[in-house]
Structure 1
Amino acid sequence: MNINVVVIGPQDLINLVLKVGASYPEINLIPAPYTHEQETLEVVKKNTTKADVLLFAGNIPYQIVKSHPITDTPMAFIQLTGTALYRTLFKVLTETKLNPTQTSFRISMDTLKKTEVDECLEELELHTCKLFLNKDKKVDELVDFHYQMWINKEIDVAITCVTSVYEALKSLGVLVYRVIPTKSTVRSTLQNMIAERKSFLQKSTQIAVGVLRFNHLFTTSDVSEYALKRKKAGIQSLLIDFSEEAQAIFDWSNRDEVRFITTRGAIETITQTYKKLPLLNNLCMKVGIEPALGIGLGYTANEAETNAREALLKAQSLASPSCFVLDLDGTLYGPVGQEKQLQYSLRSDDPVRIHLAKTSNLSVATINKLLSFCENFGYKGITALDLAAGLGLTIRSARRILNTLERNKLAAITGEEQPIHRGRPRNLYELYLIDEKTTTTP
């Protein structure tokens, strides 16, 4: 299957990518040029539906789109490494009177990493008495950065990785050179994209099994037989719609349970990578039932169903209708559809997390769950009620965990919160797992 890659950048760099990409028949390159980086968002909006991958000719346009989430299309950019700087420095040596092999010279650069610049200069045995490096991502500030040093006679030459900065400085009379990707860098980027695409397609074909559980759906004595049949017909209709969209096969031979099988790719598409699940919402709103759903992923149907039933147990532990997804590596996602969801592994071989579990006398799965909770909700001002709601626990279990952490000096009471209604003040805790996670060794 060919990969549709929309290439975004200045025309000359797009031409370079098209030239190198001509030797890769599995990639269909679609040019999307701009004259200035500020046009990036509009270019992406016009071309995102054409792309399997968006490839940016540099880091700045990539960062612009990353900071404005306007597309779910996978993105990549061609990195400018020290090898790209070699050619630029060679041009400085051959096209100017500057000779840094003999005498030191003063230079300003942007975007590149200092370690790569230093390594490049050292290998070429070039001497600089002053090297000004700026990694700021704003174009106007980069222009000002170079120009101010030029007019103040602090530099002999400016080197930029940004096309619009290069054009602006050139118009201002600055001696400026531009760093552009080498063919080998472009080739490496395209090869990585092909490998990642193949990996993605293989991953998408993994088996996904879902187990949807209705608790005592058809045993209610005060509901007429006709009402039960209407409810069953409503559920059946929603399951057919879902199965058609997910390309799934479902089985409803068990009165209180539906099992369906499809692929990982279909599930990730329909859930927007575990962000929402319309099936649960429709069952609640249109039929008036509150089911629990577990989805498991695996290489075999048996492995996927085992994971699905483990995820189902987690979903059934919550009071409200919910769905969890259990991945092959033990990572649990959920509750699917909530604005803030946890993502954690049920196991870990990380020695720091194992040490935390031993220190706190809690399981590794609980430690992973707590760390995921803290990443979403923060480490300060946590009550037992917050923890119970976030982890799907009873208040009593949440209090037990907090007391255990406090007893082992991994948490401390830092204040109180008075409930809106009558009741005892709730303790506010600060968790110190982040310190242990980053600084403690077993």
Structure 2
Amino acid sequence: MPLTILVIGPQDTVSLILNIGHTYPELTLIPASYTTEKETLTILDRHKNNADIILFAGLIPYQIVKQELNGFTKPMVYVPVTGTTLYRVLFKMINETGRNLMNNTPRISIDTLEKNDVQESLDELEINVAELFVKDFNIREGTEQLVYFHYNLWIKQAIDVAITCVRSVYDRLIELGVPAFQVVPTRSSIYSSLEQVLLEGKTLEQANTQLAIGIIRFSNLSDRLTAYDKQRKRVVLQNILIDFGEKAQALLDWSNREEMRFVTTRGAMEEATNHFSHISLLNDIAVKTGIQACLGIGFGRTANEGEIKAREALNKAKLNMGSCYAADIDGTIHGPIGEFFHLEYSIRSDNPRKVSLAKKARLSVATINKLLSYCSSIGNTSITALELSNGLGITVRSARRILSILEKNELAKVVGEEQPINRGRPRQLYRINLA
């Protein structure tokens, strides 16, 4: 199946990628060029639904998307610029300036590349520099910091030439009269990135063909109703489930009266839930029939593996009736799906910081991951036990226990109270600090 690739970057590099990309008949490349990196998010929002994979013509637009769009799920690849790409720039400097870099020692400023990579390239070419200034890109400061870095050194007469890896920075330096050269990706690095795109495509295809098993559990299906009312309710429920089955391309099995199972593929399930961000099935059931239900979705390479994961997800959903959770093949938990916030966390971690936090708090790594994901999702670290209970799909008692443990280990602090709308004792407001 052909892959559609959205290529985002400056016009010259995008054109070069398209030129090389024509040698890959299995790829359909969509050009999306910008003048400055600030346009990246707008371009992506405009074209993302038409592409399977996003290919960035450099590291900076890739970093912008990673930083700003935390929930973006489509595979992304960027064309790297390494120290070896300096060879062409240095050769161009010799041609255009007539400077013998073997005998003269220039003063150079360079951005984005690692200093060790730059020095290694200079050593291999036996080029000595009188001064070498290297600046990393900081996404919070933007590309303007890079322009200032080079221009400030030029005004102080500390450099003879500036080398940048960013097209917009190069254009601005030329406007300011700074002798500048742009590092652009080599053809070999573009070929390597296109090969990486093909690998991502194969991974995407394999993921889409994973089995997805869903289990819906009904809680009040046997309410005291007349036989006719039960039949009417059941017919409405069947129609809702059939509509969902058609949308998710699923096979339905309702042999167990209290549960309904369905089988589909991962790709169809991700499309039906908008990549685990929304599912209307449970709300439709509650509104149209008055039946409370919860849903667990599991992914696996086999039906048995998917069933086990679905049961894990269902057990979490049972704690918060009306919710849906999904358990991924790698242990990642998605949910509650369809709520105003969405958690995505792993039940394990090899991150030393998270392991250290778990030990300090005397909680599991999975709980720490859940707390971090929850605080990130709501954009707030001040919560009550009731809010934490609803957010994590646990009992209020368990939420109070977690907050108490965090407080004892100085990872949470009582910062105030919240008076319930109805009568009752004020709820303590905790501020969680897992930074």
Range class of TM-score, shorter chain = 0.7 to 0.9
Quick one: which of 157, 160, 165 aligns to 2:164?
160
Structure 1 Cα separation of the partners of residues 2 and 78 of structure 2: 19
Contact 2:385 2:400 in 1 (8 A): yes
Within-5 A mapping of 1:43-442: 43-44=43-44, 47-63=47-63, 73-134=74-135, 135=137, 138-139=142-143, 142-217=146-221, 219-221=222-224, 223-318=225-320, 320-346=321-347, 362-363=363-364, 365-376=366-377, 381-407=382-408, 409=409, 411=411, 413-420=413-420, 423-429=424-430, 434=434
My pick for the range that moved more, 298-307 or 99-108, is 99-108
Name the SS of the counterpart of 1:400 in structure 2.
helix
Name the SS of the counterpart of 1:213 in structure 2.
strand
* Counterpart amino acid of residue 223 in structure 2: T
Structure 2 Cα separation of the partners of residues 112 and 418 of structure 1: 51
Name the SS of the counterpart of 1:294 in structure 2.
strand
Distance 1:335 1:37, change over 3 A: closer
Contact 2:77 2:196 in 1 (8 A): no
Distance 1:354 1:32, change over 3 A: closer
* Counterpart amino acid of residue 190 in structure 2: V
Name the SS of the counterpart of 2:132 in structure 1.
strand
Any gaps of 5 or more consecutive residues in structure 2? none
Deviation, 1:103, is 3.8
* Counterpart amino acid of residue 287 in structure 1: T
* Counterpart amino acid of residue 220 in structure 1: D
Count how many residue pairs are aligned between Structure 1 and Structure 2.
430
Name the SS of the counterpart of 2:158 in structure 1.
coil
Deviation, 1:278, is 1.5
Deviation, 1:427, is 4.0
Any gaps of 5 or more consecutive residues in structure 1? 436-442
Deviation, 1:277, is 0.7
Distance 1:371 1:45, change over 3 A: closer
Name the SS of the counterpart of 1:7 in structure 2.
strand
Deviation, 1:173, is 4.0
- Give deviations 1:48-85, integer Å, cap 9, x for gaps: 44422232222344455566659865433212111112
TM-score, structure 1 normalization = 0.84
Structure 1 Cα separation of the partners of residues 94 and 25 of structure 2: 38
My pick for the range that moved more, 199-208 or 153-162, is 153-162
Distance 1:420 1:51, change over 3 A: closer
Name the SS of the counterpart of 1:234 in structure 2.
helix
Structure 2 Cα separation of the partners of residues 35 and 349 of structure 1: 40
Structure 1 Cα separation of the partners of residues 415 and 11 of structure 2: 59
Deviation, 1:350, is 6.9
Deviation, 1:127, is 2.9
Structure 2 Cα separation of the partners of residues 51 and 371 of structure 1: 31
Contact 1:48 1:71 in 2 (8 A): no
Name the SS of the counterpart of 2:341 in structure 1.
coil
Structure 1 Cα separation of the partners of residues 308 and 208 of structure 2: 19
- Aligned residue for 1:12? 12
My pick for the range that moved more, 12-21 or 265-274, is 12-21
Structure 1 Cα separation of the partners of residues 74 and 357 of structure 2: 38
Deviation, 1:181, is 0.4
- Give deviations 1:156-187, integer Å, cap 9, x for gaps: 11212222333343355432211110111111
Name the SS of the counterpart of 1:128 in structure 2.
coil
Structure 2 Cα separation of the partners of residues 284 and 24 of structure 1: 50
Name the SS of the counterpart of 1:277 in structure 2.
coil
Contact 2:420 2:426 in 1 (8 A): no
Deviation, 1:295, is 0.8
Identity of aligned residues (%): 49
Structure 1 Cα separation of the partners of residues 381 and 134 of structure 2: 38
Structure 2 Cα separation of the partners of residues 37 and 98 of structure 1: 32
* Counterpart amino acid of residue 289 in structure 2: V
Structure 2 Cα separation of the partners of residues 17 and 329 of structure 1: 33
Contact 2:420 2:427 in 1 (8 A): no
My pick for the range that moved more, 266-275 or 391-400, is 391-400
* Counterpart amino acid of residue 318 in structure 2: Q
Deviation, 1:321, is 0.5
